[in-house]
Amino acid sequence: MSSKLRKASSADEEEAKVDMSPMIDMVFLLLIFFIVNATAIVVQTDPEVLPPVAANSLKQEDGRGRIVINVREDGKYTAENFNVILADEADIFDLVKEEKEKIDSLGLVPKLHLRGDQDAVFKYSRTAIRAAAAAGVDQVIFAVYQTHKGLRK
């Protein structure tokens, strides 16, 4: 009798299959979730500033927590919104202090992103670094190009 049962049950059995539709739906939902939550970090550049070329430079992957200061060839300073000109070291200090507080509240480490023109004298950059240090920002990223390709001068 057991052999009759086996034959009867094996003839009607179909191969077990897993339905992949819910898994594919879940993958698409996760993909949409991560795309929506990703933040694009864009650093505006001052067209008056042409950074120097350093062949051995490395591209910074993490753009969060940056406080951008542009140093023009004539020694003028601008913030990331390059329409605002910073008159002196006190203005740089105030800007960095204000931005540092915002960045600290997000739980990030503030860094000075210094974009100095290749023809600017280093003492202008040193002034910006000194003001940032006085405001409590001790990490500095120097902006440079890796090649001469595409430079305007």
Mark whether 64 and 129 lie in a shared domain: yes
Both 61 and 77 in one domain: the answer is yes
The answer on 48 and 33 residing in a single domain is no
118: domain CATH number? 3.30.420
* Same domain? 49 vs 32: no
Q: Residue 144: which domain range?
A: 42-153
Pair 83, 33 in one domain: no
> SS3 sequence, the chain?
CHHHHHHHHHHHCCCCCCCCHHHHHHHHHHHHHHHHHCCCCCCCCCCCCCCCECCCCCCCCCCCCEEEEEECCCCCEEECCCCCEECCHHHHHHHHHHHHHHHHHCCCCCEEEEEECCCCCHHHHHHHHHHHHHCCCCCEEECCECCCCCCCC
Residues 25 and 69 in one domain: no
Number of domains in the chain: 2
From first to last of its 153 residues, the chain has per-residue pLDDT tens of 556 656 655 555 567 788 888 899 999 999 998 888 877 666 667 778 878 888 788 877 777 888 988 898 888 898 877 677 888 889 999 999 999 999 999 999 999 988 888 888 888 889 999 999 999 999 998 888 777 665 555
33 shares its domain with 88? no
Query: 33 and 52 share a domain?
Result: no
pTM given for the model: 0.66
Same domain, 118 and 61: yes
